[in-house]
């Protein structure tokens, strides 16, 4: 067992865990934050994306101990003071989700994608969004409305 | 009319929990004191199971129990069943081998589960599972369906040549006679590639036996929890039906693959009883690839006989269908009643004959996957029709238009059992030609050529049969269940409504759509309606969601329940308003006396029913009505899809330039949700055409068992779609006039893509049209040209 301390959604947590524990397991099983979903074992599908120290991370193939001391935000921490994040609103407004399983990772990736584009002065268009979401698989929507949602979310972010 | 009633693009009720991470999927559920299961899966496609040494594993930390097929047999449990008995041409019943919940004696595909370990943690269960050794006797495997008959491999005892059934439909003599007189015959040989459904949520189950009440709860990723309850109780025999609750909470996509009853969920429940601990199993993605039921996998020959003008005279089809190692829940009806009965397509072909041989192979079971039989039928017909047009020198729109069933011919009896109640195909074609700017295609092709690219356009005119029905007919054809649906509408004192439906929503937005129907029918606020599904202890019976049945069958049951509410409300209103019952008119949530201003709102009527101080004598209190609906026929959505592609001849890469989908879904309750369903279907169909393929090697190893190897369509692989729902032809046998939209995209799109590629490169390749395949085909054509 090893001790790991991190800030998750603004709250400090310390747990004794097996060193092999994945970050996704840590969030889901140790902290009960089940909004981080696990859809594959290979970092391919993106259902498990969270933010760690400002970058998006695929939690299903990262070890929790790698994030000792880090600040992690999960989908549960995205809404602030009871107000949804503009990207969450955009997904709802544009029917950018169906079964909801990929949605949490998709939103977390989209927020980071738009934030990075804005920081780097990149024009956010359909091409940019489609390329940027290559690491997130959705089986329901055909991406059409996800792309619409991300473009709309980018406007209001 | 209700503000959020039928026809409005209401935002979804279910979205708030999904966008905030507060959805509750099976793996999110923790039952106190739960233990964890890990399966030992066969690494061989076909092998005898000798001694299983569990001694080392049993001594490992946290291990609570290890069970094998021997233990299942010792407990006298039954196996999984296939719910549809198909008869061969000679009248003999299909040959179904046993399907134990843990392999016994033999493993029949890679991933067949041989043993299960239950431990305190998942990691401990996995560690212990790796310590189990199995003495396998490796046998030769039969993998390719085209060779299954003569493989010399016997997968199940007493099933010669692995043949499950040899089935036929249509008039062979009339078909052969038409071929004998044909001016021209077009033939195509087709492989419908095997697919892995890949819902983003992997399957999971928690079995929970409670000793004190001798009762069982199963949480599972299911599209039809009630059918799971039936099979697990009546056939597997783990729990009696009245003591078993099956809960399918939020389910992260199904696409057919979660209709079926799987061994793992049965094992979790059974192990829970043996250990008196809740037992949880969650599939990882590789397990999902190996053990979720796959889709498609047909090898077919199709021929069309025509007169000199390209009028279709007869269609003749032979199909070999891969069933995998065991017959999954609905496997047998996919290549028969859900496939061959759709071979008429949108065309008035006078004679059709099809025979189908279904085979066992040493591969994962194959069952319904988005569209189930109809994509296979549509790919076959629409490839053949496109080739017919080419060979007859007719434009792809013209060959279709010439052979469409005319709009005045409905109801139309096809030569392959179905009677289409309604349809009008030309307006869809016209609209698609307009939206796709067909007239401008030659100019776009020239522009592509100028860039050194090959441009092609492809058509597809699909029809599908949704809402499988009626029960009496499917019963006579071998189905083991009725295919009605149930709905309950339950008012509380304050006028709020709970709707309990036997359908299950796993992305389709029933919580929204069904609430819209109730808001419209009862004049209550949309916000005051809550839809409950997926729990057999709440909705007592149901048949689940598949085959785009939910609104056409479940929604109509809901309408009937609303009708009963209104009928009872009229009795109460007549009493309160001192009028005759037949004079009460119900509209927009108000019960009024005709021709007067005397009126009571539905809220007042409900209150009177629950606080019956002034109430009709003899009438039961309460306002809760249940209805069942057994449809008179399938519903028949149809549409025309046009795909335009550009192929890079240097790399073989195909890019979809535009995709236009025009559908007739009858009446539409929520256009936003319907469009979303079409988008998703298109992506799955385009995925089949361009990317996806479940590949087994000759020994039966699944080579595409992860997202590293199986090409799922990603955002940058697809275009934005042009989707249009026509005013349409309303279904004639449900009062909503709805048809079903969930599968259309996956049914109609593969042939449109493949026809476009054929148009671009001048030759056909098989699905998926990978860059390598396209490039090789182009090299062959170039070499042939050079040799001329």
B 161-220 residues inside an 8 A Cβ radius of A: 198-202
What confidence tier does B785 reach under pLDDT thresholds 50, 70, 90? confident
The pLDDT mean for chain B works out to: 97
Who among B11, B198, B682 is closest to A93 (CB)?
Answer: B11
Model pLDDT for residues A108-144, shown as the tens digit of each residue: 999 999 999 999 999 999 999 999 999 999 999 999 9
For B200, name the nearest residue in chain A, comparing CA atoms only. Answer: A39
Q: What integer is the mean pLDDT of B371-381?
A: 97
Between CA A150 and CA A144 the distance in angstroms is 10
* Residue B644 backbone class (left: φ over 0; alpha: ψ -120 to 50; beta: rest): beta
pLDDT at B473: 87
Identify which of B199, B197, B226, B198 has the alpha carbon closest to the alpha carbon of residue B508: B199
B151 in Cβ contact with B359 (< 8 Å) = no
Model pLDDT for residues B588-642, shown as the tens digit of each residue: 999 999 999 999 999 999 999 999 999 999 999 999 999 999 999 999 999 999 9
Report CA torsion sign: B147, B151, B155, B160. Answer: positive
Cα–Cα separations (whole angstroms), residue B307 to B184, B185, B315, B349: 6, 9, 13, 12
For B713, name the nearest residue in chain A, comparing CA atoms only. Answer: A137
Q: Which residues of B434-448 are buried (b: 16+ CB within 10 A; e: fewer)?
A: ebbebeebeebbeeb
Q: Is B61 within 8 Å of chain A by CB?
A: no
Model pLDDT for residues B385-426, shown as the tens digit of each residue: 999 999 999 999 999 999 999 999 999 999 999 999 999 999
Residue A7 bridge partners (DSSP) = A12, A71
Residue B136 bridge partners (DSSP) = B49
Distance between the two ends of chain A, CA-based, in angstroms?
Answer: 41
Model pLDDT for residues B278-335, shown as the tens digit of each residue: 999 999 999 999 999 999 999 999 999 999 999 999 999 999 999 999 999 999 999 9
pLDDT at B257: 97
Between CA A28 and CA A50 the distance in angstroms is 12
- Sequential DSSP letters for B87-147: BPTTSPBP------SS--SEE-STT-EEEEEEESSHHHHHHHHHT-EEEEEE------GGG
Phi, psi of B95 (to 5 degrees): -100, 110
Residue B628 bridge partners (DSSP) = B486
CB atoms under 10 Å from CB of B123, counted, come to 17
Who among B252, B285, B720 is closest to A40 (CB)?
Answer: B285
Q: Is A9 within 8 Å of chain B by CB?
A: no
What confidence tier does B2 reach under pLDDT thresholds 50, 70, 90? low
B714 neighbourhood in chain A, CB within 8 Å: 133-134, 136-137, 143
Cα–Cα separations (whole angstroms), residue B492 to B260, B496, B531: 35, 6, 14
pLDDT at B594: 96
State how far residue A119 is from chain B, nearest Cα, in angstroms.
23
State how far residue B22 is from chain A, nearest Cα, in angstroms.
6
Give the CA count within 13 Å in the CB-facing half-sphere of B587. Answer: 7
Burial of A71 (0-12, 13-18, 19+ CB in 10 A): middle
Which ranges of B460-589 does DSSP label H, i.e. alpha helix?
471-476, 510-522, 556-576
State how far residue B768 is from chain A, nearest Cα, in angstroms.
18
Is pLDDT at B788 greater than 90 in this prediction?
A: no
Cα–Cα separations (whole angstroms), residue B490 to B15, B61, B442: 24, 50, 59
Model pLDDT for residues A18-77, shown as the tens digit of each residue: 999 999 999 999 999 999 999 998 899 999 999 999 999 999 999 999 999 999 999 999
So what's the ipTM on this one?
0.98
Q: Pairing between strand B419-420 and B412-413? A: antiparallel
E strand or H helix that includes residue B772:
helix B771-787
B673 neighbourhood in chain A, CB within 8 Å: 95
What confidence tier does B104 reach under pLDDT thresholds 50, 70, 90? very high
Model pLDDT for residues B262-281, shown as the tens digit of each residue: 999 999 999 999 999 999 99
Q: Is the peptide bond before B399 cis (omega within 30 degrees of 0)?
A: no
Between CA B213 and CA B98 the distance in angstroms is 32
Please provide the size of chain A in residues. 157
Phi, psi of B635 (to 5 degrees): -105, 155
A139 in Cβ contact with B253 (< 8 Å) = yes
Is pLDDT at B77 greater than 70 in this prediction?
A: yes
For A140, name the nearest residue in chain B, comparing CA atoms only. Answer: B680
- Sequential DSSP letters for B311-377: -EEEEEEEEEEEEESS--TTGGGTTTTTTGGGTTTTB--SEEEEEEEEEE-SS--B---TTTTHHHH
Share of chain B above pLDDT 70, in %: 100
Sheet with B590-593, strands from edge to edge, namely B584-587, B590-593, B599-601
Q: Pairing between strand A71-73 and A2-8? A: parallel
pLDDT at B540: 87
Is pLDDT at B1 greater than 80 in this prediction?
A: no
Q: What integer is the mean pLDDT of B439-450?
A: 98
Asked whether the beta carbons of residue A42 and residue B706 sit closer than 8 angstroms, the reply is yes
A 50-69 residues inside an 8 A Cβ radius of B: none
Between CA B650 and CA A114 the distance in angstroms is 34
Residue B299 bridge partners (DSSP) = B191, B320
Asked whether the beta carbons of residue B251 and residue A39 sit closer than 8 angstroms, the reply is no
Instruction: Compute the C-alpha angle B426/B633/B262, nearest 5°.
Output: 110
B110 in Cβ contact with B702 (< 8 Å) = yes
Q: What integer is the mean pLDDT of B359-381?
A: 98
Asked whether the beta carbons of residue A41 and residue B683 sit closer than 8 angstroms, the reply is no
pLDDT at B558: 98
Between CA B454 and CA B267 the distance in angstroms is 53
Burial of A10 (0-12, 13-18, 19+ CB in 10 A): exposed
Is pLDDT at B784 greater than 90 in this prediction?
A: no
Is pLDDT at B174 greater than 60 in this prediction?
A: yes
B252 neighbourhood in chain A, CB within 8 Å: 37, 39, 99-102
Q: Is B140 within 8 Å of chain A by CB?
A: no
Asked whether the beta carbons of residue A101 and residue B22 sit closer than 8 angstroms, the reply is no
Size of interface A-B (CB pairs under 8 A): 180
Q: What integer is the mean pLDDT of B45-72?
A: 98
Asked whether the beta carbons of residue A137 and residue B683 sit closer than 8 angstroms, the reply is no
CB atoms under 10 Å from CB of B98, counted, come to 12
Q: Which of B18, B30, B255, B681 to mutate to test the interface with A (most CBs of A within 10 A)?
A: B18
A74 neighbourhood in chain B, CB within 8 Å: 21
């Amino acid at each position: 067992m090893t001790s790991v301390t991190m800030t998750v959604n603004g709250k400090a947590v310390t747990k004794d865990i097996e060193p092999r524990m994945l970050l996704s397991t840590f969030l889901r099983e140790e902290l009960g934050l089940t909004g981080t979903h696990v859809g594959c074992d290979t970092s391919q599908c993106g259902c498990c994306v969270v933010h760690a120290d400002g970058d998006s991370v695929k939690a299903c193939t990262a070890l929790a101990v790698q994030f000792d001391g880090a600040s992690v935000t999960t989908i549960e921490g995205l809404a602030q003071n009871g107000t949804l994040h503009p990207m969450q609103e955009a997904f709802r407004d544009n029917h950018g989700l169906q079964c909801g399983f990929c949605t949490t990772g998709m939103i977390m990736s989209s927020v980071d994608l738009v934030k990075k584009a804005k920081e780097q002065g990149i024009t956010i268009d359909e091409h940019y969004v489609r390329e940027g979401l290559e690491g997130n698989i959705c089986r329901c929507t055909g991406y059409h409305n996800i792309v619409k949602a991300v473009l709309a979310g980018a406007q209001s972010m | 009319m209700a503000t959020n009633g039928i026809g409005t693009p209401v935002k979804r009720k279910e979205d708030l929990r999904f966008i905030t991470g507060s959805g509750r999927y099976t793996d999110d559920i923790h039952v106190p004191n739960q233990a964890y299961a890990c399966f030992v899966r066969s690494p061989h496609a076909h092998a005898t199971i000798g001694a299983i040494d569990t001694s080392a594993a049993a001594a490992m930390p946290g291990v609570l129990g290890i069970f094998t097929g021997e233990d299942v047999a010792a407990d006298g449990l039954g196996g999984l069943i296939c719910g549809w008995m198909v008869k061969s041409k000679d009248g003999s019943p299909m040959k179904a081998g046993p399907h134990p919940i843990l392999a016994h004696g033999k493993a029949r595909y890679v991933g067949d589960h041989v043993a299960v370990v239950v431990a305190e943690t998942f990691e401990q269960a996995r560690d212990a599972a790796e310590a189990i050794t199995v003495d396998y006797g490796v046998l030769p495997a039969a993998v390719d369906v085209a060779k299954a008959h003569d493989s010399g491999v016997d997968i199940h005892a007493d099933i010669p040549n692995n043949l499950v059934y040899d089935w036929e439909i249509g008039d062979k003599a009339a078909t052969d006679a038409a071929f004998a007189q044909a001016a021209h015959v077009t033939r195509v040989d087709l492989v419908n590639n095997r697919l892995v459904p890949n819902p983003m949520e992997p399957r999971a189950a928690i079995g929970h036996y409670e000793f004190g009440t001798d009762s069982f709860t199963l949480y599972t990723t299911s599209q039809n929890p009630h059918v799971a309850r039936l099979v697990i109780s009546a056939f597997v025999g783990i729990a009696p039906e009245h003591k078993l609750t099956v809960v399918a909470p939020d389910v992260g996509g199904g696409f057919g693959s979660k209709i079926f009853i799987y061994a793992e969920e049965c094992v979790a429940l059974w192990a829970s009883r043996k250990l008196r601990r809740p037992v949880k199993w969650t599939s990882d993605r590789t397990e999902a690839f190996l053990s979720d039921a796959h889709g498609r996998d047909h090898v077919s020959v199709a021929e069309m006989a025509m007169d000199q003008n390209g009028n279709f005279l007869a269609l003749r089809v032979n199909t070999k269908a891969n069933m995998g190692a065991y017959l999954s829940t609905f496997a047998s009806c996919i290549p028969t009643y859900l496939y061959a009965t759709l071979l008429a397509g949108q065309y008035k072909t006078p004679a059709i004959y099809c025979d189908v041989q279904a085979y066992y192979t040493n591969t994962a079971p194959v069952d319904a996957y988005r569209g189930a039989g109809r994509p296979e039928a549509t790919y076959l017909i629409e490839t053949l029709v496109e080739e017919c047009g080419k060979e007859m020198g007719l434009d792809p729109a013209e060959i279709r238009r010439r052979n469409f069933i005319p709009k005045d011919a409905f109801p139309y009896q096809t030569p392959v059992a179905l009677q289409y109640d309604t349809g009008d195909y030309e307006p869809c074609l016209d609209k698609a030609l307009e939206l796709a700017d067909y007239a401008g295609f030659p100019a776009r092709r020239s522009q592509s050529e100028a860039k050194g690219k090959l441009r092609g356009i492809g058509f597809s005119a699909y029809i599908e049969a949704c809402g499988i029905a009626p029960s009496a007919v499917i019963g006579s054809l071998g189905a083991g269940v009725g295919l009605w649906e149930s709905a309950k509408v339950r008012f509380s004192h304050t006028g709020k409504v709970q709707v309990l439906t036997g359908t299950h929503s796993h992305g389709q937005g029933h919580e929204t759509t069904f609430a819209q129907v109730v808001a419209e029918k009862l004049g209550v606020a949309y916000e005051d309606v809550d839809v409950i599904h997926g729990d057999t202890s709440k909705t007592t019976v149901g048949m689940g969601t598949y085959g785009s049945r939910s609104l056409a069958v479940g929604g109509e049951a809901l309408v009937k329940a609303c009708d009963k509410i209104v009928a009872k409300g009229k009795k109460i209103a007549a009493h309160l308003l001192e009028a005759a019952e037949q004079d009460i008119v119900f509209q927009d949530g108000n019960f009024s006396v005709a021709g007067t201003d005397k009126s009571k709102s539905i809220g007042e009527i409900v209150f009177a029913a629950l606080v019956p101080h002034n109430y009709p004598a003899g009438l039961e209190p309460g306002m809760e009505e249940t209805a069942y609906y057994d449809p008179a026929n399938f519903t028949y959505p149809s549409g025309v899809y046009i795909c335009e592609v550009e192929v890079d001849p240097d790399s073989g890469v195909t890019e979809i330039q535009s995709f236009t989908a025009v559908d007739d879904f009858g009446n539409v309750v929520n256009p936003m949700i319907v469009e979303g369903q079409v988008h998703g279907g298109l992506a799955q169909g385009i995925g089949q055409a361009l990317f996806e393929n479940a590949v087994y090697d000759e020994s039966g190893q699944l080579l595409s068992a992860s997202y590293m190897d199986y090409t799922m369509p990603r955002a940058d692989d697809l275009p934005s779609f042009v989707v249009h729902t026509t005013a349409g032809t309303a279904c004639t046998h449900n009062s909503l006039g709805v048809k079903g939209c969930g599968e259309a995209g996956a049914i109609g799109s593969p042939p449109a893509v493949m026809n476009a590629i054929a148009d671009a490169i001048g030759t056909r390749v098989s699905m998926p049209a990978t860059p390598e395949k396209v490039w090789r085909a182009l090299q062959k054509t170039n070499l042939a040209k050079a040799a001329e």
